[in-house]
Structure 1
Amino acid sequence: MYRLIFFILFFVLVASKSSYGQLRDSIHSGVIYVPQKIIRGDTVPHVYIDEIKVVTPWVFKNKREQRRYGRLVINIKKTLPYARLARNKIDEIAASLDTIKGEKHRKQFVKQSEKELFNEFEQPLKKLTYSQGRMLIKLIDRETGDTSYQLIKELKGGFSAFMWQSVARIFGSNLKAEYNSKGSEAMVEHIILMIDNGLL
């Protein structure tokens, strides 16, 4: 299963400084220097404040749903970093492939990149459970905007996509499944918002 997950991760395969950080870094000898703006001839402090999202707590229908929520939190925390890595990797691969001429050289680049990533991520992906593997497939679609099947097909062709879809089916997964933040993945989306806002 981990080889399937790795394959999918591979082929699906700013920092901005906050105003608060700027204020903190500008402290010198007890004086705080802040950005300013001239409004009608007056110089006034002008500071951008980071957006704060308010996330309503999830209302559980019963204890069973509460237990499911808890399991999802664990699986999402484990797999979300990999899904976001996949988003970054696919951008890097696409940018690199745009600069490589010739199908032969492009295939060599993809093969070499796959080998390097496999060596780096083989052990971590081995530790994923089946449910975490299925979650990773969903989150890859969320982060990239394309299903794993579409991305594999684009980079490796229809036959490879078909073969990996067949393998995924054996493990109860579907590479064609789309992430639905308003429907079946509403709870997943809520958890991700909570994590991103430091509430979980």
Structure 2
Amino acid sequence: MKFLYGNILCLLLLTFCTDLLAQEDTTHINKYNYLKSRVIEGDTLPHVYIGEVTISPPWKFKSKRQHKRYSRLVINVKKTLPYARLAKYRLTVIANTLDTLPNERAKKLYLKKAEKELFEEFEKPLRKLTFSQGRMLIKLIDRETGDTSYDLIKDLKGGFSAFMWQSVARIFGSNLKSEFDSEGDDAMIEHIVIMIDNGML
């Protein structure tokens, strides 16, 4: 059963993370960092853009049980967040690539080749995910991409494929239509993601 569930997760990720995996873009890597400058009252000063940082206080636990749940969620989020963010990156790449292809046949060939390469790369690590980590991945994909796994499959593979994958996922207690609720049921997960991004977990 776990073997089959691992296949479902692997194929789910492959479905909407179809990038040719040629090579990572290294054009942003430079030997030197150059800063923009601004002239203020005759003085040339470095101008540095500082990214937004979200401040979040430590989580206040209401019980030992909640603290244990938080600890388990930390493990699951750390395991699955990189895959969710990879999905977001690959979705951008596939959308841009598909726009450059001349016809439907070329697009299908592109998707088929990319799917095969991705399956070879991600099959083993995704099979190691537990059931709870699989459900976490589905939620985090919605958080990172803004679309549920069901919608992503529907857009790329069609409604029938989305229906079939949803049916199989439901057998194993998952729901590809799961949405991420950062202010409700998933507030603790959101807190953990922020803490990870801030280097505090």
Could you say which TM-score interval applies, normalised by the shorter chain?
0.7 to 0.9
1:12 maps to a residue whose letter is F
- Hey, what does 1:158 align to over in structure 2? 159
1:40-87, CA deviations, whole angstroms, 9 ceiling, x for partnerless residues?
23x264453734432210001101110000000000000000000111
1:69 maps to a residue whose letter is Y
Deviation at 1:169, TM superposition (A): 0.4
Alignment of 1:94-113 (within 5 A): 94-113=95-114
Asked if the contact 1:11–1:90 (Cα under 8 Å) also holds between the matched residues in 2, the reply is no
- Hey, what does 1:30 align to over in structure 2? none
CA distance in 2, matches of 1:62, 1:105: 56
Question: Which one of the candidate residues 8, 13, 17 is aligned to 2:12?
Answer: 8
- Hey, what does 2:145 align to over in structure 1? 144
Asked if the contact 1:79–1:135 (Cα under 8 Å) also holds between the matched residues in 2, the reply is yes
Asked if the contact 2:38–2:47 (Cα under 8 Å) also holds between the matched residues in 1, the reply is no
1:133 maps to a residue whose letter is G
- Hey, what does 1:48 align to over in structure 2? 48
Q: State which drifts further: 98-107 or 157-166.
A: 98-107
CA distance in 2, matches of 1:45, 1:12: 45
Alignment of 1:31-42 (within 5 A): 37-41=38-42
- Hey, what does 2:75 align to over in structure 1? 74
- Hey, what does 1:125 align to over in structure 2? 126
Deviation at 1:102, TM superposition (A): 2.1
Deviation at 1:124, TM superposition (A): 0.6
1:144-167, CA deviations, whole angstroms, 9 ceiling, x for partnerless residues?
110000010111111100000001
> Tell me, which stretches of 5 or more residues in structure 1 are unaligned?
27-33
CA distance in 1, matches of 2:44, 2:114: 52
Equivalenced residues, count: 187
Secondary structure, aligned partner of 1:184: coil
2:8 maps to a residue whose letter is L
Deviation at 1:104, TM superposition (A): 2.1
TM-score normalised according to structure 2 size? 0.85
- Hey, what does 2:20 align to over in structure 1? none
Deviation at 1:92, TM superposition (A): 1.2
1:45–1:126: structure 2 CA closer, same or farther, 3 Å change rule?
same
Identity %: 57
CA distance in 2, matches of 1:95, 1:36: 33
> Tell me, which stretches of 5 or more residues in structure 2 are unaligned?
18-24
2:14 maps to a residue whose letter is F
- Asked whether 1:178 is paired with 2:179, we answer yes
Deviation at 1:188, TM superposition (A): 0.4
1:101–1:49: structure 2 CA closer, same or farther, 3 Å change rule?
closer
CA distance in 1, matches of 2:49, 2:179: 35
- Hey, what does 1:31 align to over in structure 2? none
CA distance in 2, matches of 1:52, 1:179: 21
TM-score normalised according to structure 1 size? 0.85
